[in-house]
Amino acid sequence: MTSAASTARTARSSELFARARTVTPGGVNSPVRAFDAVGGTPRFIRSARGAWLTDVDGNDYVDLICSWGPMLLGHAHPEVQRAVTEAVSRGTSYGTPTVPEVELASEIVARTPVERVRFTSSGTEATMSAIRLARGFTGRDVVVKFAGCYHGHVDSLLAAAGSGLATFGNPNAGPSTPGVPSSSTDLTLVLPYNDTAAVAAAFAEHGDRIACLVTEAAAGNMGVVPPDPGFNRFLAETCARHGALFVSDEVMTGFRASRQGQWGLDGAVEGWAPDLMTFGKVMGGGFPAAAFGGRADVMAHLSPEGSVYQAGTLSGNPVATTAGLATLRLATDEVYAHLTAAGETIKEAAADALTAAGVPHAVQSTGTMFSVFFTEGPVRDFAGASGQDVAAYAAFFHAMLDAGVHLPPSAYEGWFLSAAHDDRAVQTVLDALPAAARAAASQGGRP
């Protein structure tokens, strides 16, 4: 997949990757970083500034990963850096309450419908804790999720988490990884995304056993698949009718799809709110911080106010919450307007290039988030996303990389932009697209 020229340009990354493999499984600390889906050597990044990554061989790339979402303002934003540096100079963790925790929680409460917030260190912990709270609050055990939605590597949520089989109405959907006991996923009902009939049928049959329905507020982990109009409201209403909680996972969409996340695009307009929400990525400003929150009466069941236990040594860490607070305060309407404009330019150019090269594709978005599917659209669920021509994407990915644009190394991911993606960065992407589309056309359909 990699050309001789690109191999020569990646000598240091290749060396480091070989070394990393001797001390870390697969050489990476999160699987998709390994390039397994596209082939080749992951770039080891030395530094990043604004919209650009620089690797250890000195190559520069326009970054369309943005740390898988968090870097809304771009890398090394001077004001975030200043706030973080000051925070670090005061110490890095105390294990007692701090000011930035209260301020970040207040900022989240101000932007979203949640009334109370509890911080965690990762999105995985946030969804895991929200599920536990929903079960503790309702006294029920069953959880409903959608095929293709990823909620972190929580045992009970690793059924059809972006790569398994969509299974309608089958409580024994089964884990999509070894190591998860089937007793964990036996209580997980997996349904096709955007399928109101499947939701209605599942609640009709199991409604009195369902603790909660958890969904990505807009699917972003099978590529960007927006909820059909009214779909999230239908979920909220169905849960309410059956005494289950509606848990909206905004770890990816939160403070990115819009100023108020995906909820700002539907719930805020239509006048409904989830019972619980989860957040991460942008709200941590590039540090390990995440949160769950929601109705005050539900959150009151959390320890120490209530009896549902949940805790974390570094939860609400003062440096991480300072970074998140600085990021959210700088995430103004202008930032979202810029993301929208830059996104429109890139989406249009990608569609034009792929059309000109004859590559089947679908460009999909929700708010400022978008992705390019290498299949005919519209993609409405995981079955649709699974039909992608991954060989075509791999060729496209490497041609873009060789031209200095670092896309996510998987066809199942969004393309992330930041406020720092200026004209030069966008133009670099536009210049790279036609040849990459032709590369995709020449590889398309190959296994």
Active-site annotation holds for 381: no
Residue 129 interacts with ligand PLP (CB under 6 A)?
no
Interface segment toward ligand PLP; rule CB under 6 A; list 245-253, 293-301, 328-336, 409-417: 245-253
Active-site annotation holds for 193: no
Residue 127 interacts with ligand PLP (CB under 6 A)?
yes
Residue 107 interacts with ligand PLP (CB under 6 A)?
no
Choice from 20, 251, 354, 359 touching ligand PLP (CB under 6 A): 251
Interface segment toward ligand PLP; rule CB under 6 A; list 44-52, 214-222, 370-378, 439-447: 214-222
Active-site annotation holds for 249: yes
Residue 67 interacts with ligand PLP (CB under 6 A)?
no
What is the nearest approach in angstroms of ligand PLP to the Cβ of residue 437?
A: 27
Whose Cβ is closer to ligand PLP: residue 360's or residue 408's?
408
What is the nearest approach in angstroms of ligand PLP to the Cβ of residue 435?
A: 30
Residue 162 interacts with ligand PLP (CB under 6 A)?
no
For 206, counting Cβ atoms within 10 Å of its Cβ (0-12 exposed, 13-18 middle, 19+ buried), the class is middle
Q: How many residues touch ligand PLP (CB under 6 A)?
A: 16
Classify strands 116-120 and 290-294 as parallel, antiparallel or unpaired. antiparallel
What is the nearest approach in angstroms of ligand PLP to the Cβ of residue 8?
A: 33
Whose Cβ is closer to ligand PLP: residue 124's or residue 258's?
124
Choice from 112, 124, 194, 258 touching ligand PLP (CB under 6 A): 124
Closest residue to bound ligand PLP by CB: 123
For 91, counting Cβ atoms within 10 Å of its Cβ (0-12 exposed, 13-18 middle, 19+ buried), the class is exposed
Binding letters toward ligand PLP, positions 182-211, x by CB under 6 A: ------------------------------
Binding letters toward ligand PLP, positions 137-156, x by CB under 6 A: -------------xxx----
Q: Looking at 55, 63, 195, 249, which residue is catalytic?
A: 249
Specify whether the CB–CB gap between 354 and 319 falls below 8 A: no
Interface segment toward ligand PLP; rule CB under 6 A; list 87-95, 244-252, 333-341, 383-391: 244-252
Whose Cβ is closer to ligand PLP: residue 31's or residue 387's?
31
Interface segment toward ligand PLP; rule CB under 6 A; list 43-51, 72-80, 116-124, 256-264: 116-124
What is the nearest approach in angstroms of ligand PLP to the Cβ of residue 263?
A: 14
Residue 216 interacts with ligand PLP (CB under 6 A)?
yes
Residue 221 interacts with ligand PLP (CB under 6 A)?
yes
Backbone phi, psi, residue 108, to 5° = -70, -40
What is the nearest approach in angstroms of ligand PLP to the Cβ of residue 416?
A: 11
Whose Cβ is closer to ligand PLP: residue 244's or residue 290's?
290
Whose Cβ is closer to ligand PLP: residue 37's or residue 341's?
37
Residue 70 interacts with ligand PLP (CB under 6 A)?
no
3-state DSSP of the chain: CCCHHHHHCCHHHHHHHHHHHHHCHHHCCCHHHHCCCCCCCCCCEEEEEECEEEECCCCEEEECCHHHCCCCCCECCHHHHHHHHHHHHCCCCCCCCCHHHHHHHHHHHHHCCCCEEEEECCHHHHHHHHHHHHHHHHCCCEEEEECCCCCCCCHHHCCCCCCCCCCCCCCECCCCCCCCCHHHHCCEEEECCCCHHHHHHHHHHHHHHEEEEEEECCECECECECCCCCHHHHHHHHHHHCCCEEEEEECCCCCCCCCCCHHHCCHHHHCCCCCEEEECHHHHCCCCCEEEEECHHHHCCECCCCCECCCCCCCCCHHHHHHHHHHHHHCCHHHHHHHHHHHHHHHHHHHHHHHHHCCCCEEEEECCEEEEECCCCCCCCHHHHCCCCHHHHHHHHHHHHHCCEECCCCCCCCECCCCCCCHHHHHHHHHHHHHHHHHHHHHCCCC
Q: Looking at 281, 381, 389, 402, which residue is catalytic?
A: 281
Q: Looking at 55, 63, 150, 266, which residue is catalytic?
A: 150
Residue 414 interacts with ligand PLP (CB under 6 A)?
no
State the angle between helix axes of 423-443 and 390-402 in degrees (0 to 180), rounded to the nearest 10.
140
What is the nearest approach in angstroms of ligand PLP to the Cβ of residue 2?
A: 27
- Write down how long the chain is: 447
Choice from 2, 6, 81, 122 touching ligand PLP (CB under 6 A): 122
Q: Which residues contact 311 (CB under 8 A, 6 or more apart)?
A: 303
List residues near ligand PLP by CB under 6 A: 68, 122-124, 127, 150-152, 216, 220-221, 249, 251-252, 280, 290
Residues annotated as catalytic (active site), given as ranges:
150, 249, 281
